[in-house]
Amino acid sequence: MAQSPAPAAPLLHDRYRIDERLGATRLAVIYRAYDERLQRQVLVALFREELVSHEALRRRFIAEAQSGVRRLHPSLLSVYDSGAVAGRPFMVMEYVSGRTLRDLGPLTVEVALLYFRQIVGAVAVCQAVGAPHPPISSANIVVVEEGRVKLVENWSMTPSEFGADIAWYRAPERVAGHPPISGSVVYSLGLLLLEMLIGRRVNQGDDLNVMLQAHRHGALPTLAEMRPHLYIPSLAHLIARATASDPSQRFPDASALSQALDDVRRAISHSTSRLAPSASRPSASSGAVRGRSERASSSVNRPASMRPDPQPVDSMPPSDTMATAAHRLVMEKTRQHSLAALIAMVALFVLIGSGAYVLTSLVLEGLADIQLPRPQLTLPENVPLPDWLTGVANGSGEVLTVTIGDVEGLNLRDEPGLNTRVIALLPNGTRVRKLEGPRNVDNVPWVRVRGEINGRPVEGWVSQLYVRSDG
């Protein structure tokens, strides 16, 4: 008996094929779908069935769909289409996937400010056009690719979990029951930036009321208290002003915060430089050499009348024969050869041991993701090491390691920029050699690298934010 064909996936408006239910937000159920007409993945937000009788929420959902066309920003989801089916309104949006900022832990200052600038810009656009924006939370910010984030409404939480999560970012005046003002979101953004730098929400614990009271009374720790070793006064001042408990002491809106943030980024880029190496104390050997040269110099420049008389050199005693002298010469040569052989043997053992250690560490790193400490060898310049010893392509550039995390891999592009062609994917832990850069494109620093994927040499540009130096 022939099996009946599997039922076809539902098609919304004869265009959008519903593939998978991803979750739900406060107002809608979110589906991953496919646009049959334009051949692309999309997100479909369908108004929740149990809310159909709530006319105010229905109008709010429709208004959000309509305002999505006006709030154009790269860090906000684009709205492609909207409509209604069976009395339930829906909207079709840009498809995104990735990890949230909450999953990443603490970020470097450069990466945190790069992501934060995008979120602040998105909120500023929404405030300028009078459109709502998704609530501020590290769980609502998705890293879609290197250097780019999207502000969304997280659909992986239950409504109760979502409400408790965004309450952690509530401004003091909102806790006191007052309506939101343009500076309320500035407070939320300040907490978000502090969280990005320290890797966790500012006030930990399960008691939401205790946390809300801490916000209301301004009992927030400072950046210096949370990360004592991170001394950037301009950044600390920006966070302190953004999270001021008195709204009049904050930045008035996201646009003003954005301008202040640009000033901080410029100040950091201009003031940050490598410290000059401190003068090291001369070693005993260098002191001895300097002492000998000084003595030699003083001897050369000393007047002839002050120089000591040369001591007579004893000649060979008459009893030393030519045979004895020859024997001494042979013994000296033998000692020199023995010393050279011993040095060569020790060097060979060191080379073999180092090669075995490096090979073992590479095998463990590839099979079990175990990294053994590798000794830092200082070699003369322009001395190339073989590929089997370094695990990276030949060349004289700096060796870098991909640190993209547990995502699929780091995009290798043909040119620097977020909209250039991806030519390969470098897995996490891949070691590459830097050839050029950094070059700043789309507010992201890029470096050109060379590496190998499955024995095939590859070369292109990667985001410097996701590679670290092995030096």
Digit-coded pLDDT (tens) for 410-433:
888 899 887 788 888 888 788 899
Per-residue burial over 407-436, b if 16 or more Cβ lie within 10 Å, else e, is eebbbbbeebebebeeebebebebbbbbbe
Pair 246, 342 in one domain: no
Q: What pLDDT, in 10s, does the model give residues 83-135? A: 999 899 999 999 999 999 998 888 988 899 999 999 999 999 999 999 999 99
- What the block records as the tokens of 98 is 């990735």
Pair 353, 211 in one domain: no
Q: Which residues contact 465 (CB under 8 A, 6 or more apart)?
A: 108, 110, 111, 114, 146, 147, 444, 445
Identity of the residue numbered 99: R
Q: Is residue 276 part of a domain?
A: no
CATH number of the domain bearing residue 414: 2.30.30.40
Query: So what's the pLDDT on residue 3?
Result: 53
Pair 114, 240 in one domain: yes
The residue out of 94, 128, 157 marking a domain boundary is 94
Pair 106, 90 in one domain: no
Nearest to 58 by CA among 30, 85, 27, 91: 27
Pair 184, 238 in one domain: yes
Query: So what's the pLDDT on residue 268?
Result: 81
Q: Give yes or no for a contact between 83 and 90, defined as CB atoms under 8 angstroms apart.
A: yes
Q: Give yes or no for a contact between 399 and 471, defined as CB atoms under 8 angstroms apart.
A: yes
pLDDT category of residue 311 using cuts at 50, 70 and 90: very low
Check pLDDT > 50 for residue 437: yes
CATH number of the domain bearing residue 33: 3.30.200.20
Query: So what's the pLDDT on residue 55?
Result: 93
The residue that leads in pLDDT, 444 or 33, is 33
Check pLDDT > 80 for residue 357: no
Pair 242, 148 in one domain: yes
Check pLDDT > 50 for residue 292: no
CA angle 123, 125, 130 (to 5 degrees): 95
Pair 70, 215 in one domain: no
Domain count, the chain: 4
Q: Give yes or no for a contact between 124 and 254, defined as CB atoms under 8 angstroms apart.
A: yes
Check pLDDT > 50 for residue 325: no
Could you tell me the residue range of the domain that residue 144 belongs to?
A: 99-269
pLDDT category of residue 297 using cuts at 50, 70 and 90: very low
Q: Is residue 148 part of a domain?
A: yes
CA angle 121, 125, 127 (to 5 degrees): 115
pLDDT category of residue 211 using cuts at 50, 70 and 90: low
CA distances from 380 to 30, 350, 377, 396 (A): 60, 17, 10, 12
The residue that leads in pLDDT, 268 or 404, is 268
pTM for this one?
0.60
Pair 63, 113 in one domain: no
CATH number of the domain bearing residue 234: 1.10.510.10
Q: Give yes or no for a contact between 444 and 114, defined as CB atoms under 8 angstroms apart.
A: yes
Question: How far is 231 from 215, CA to CA, in rounded Å?
Answer: 24
Q: Is residue 141 part of a domain?
A: yes
Pair 158, 171 in one domain: yes
Cβ count near 192 (within 10 Å): 26
The residue that leads in pLDDT, 166 or 339, is 166
Q: Is residue 239 part of a domain?
A: yes
The residue out of 66, 94, 122 marking a domain boundary is 94
Q: Is residue 282 part of a domain?
A: no
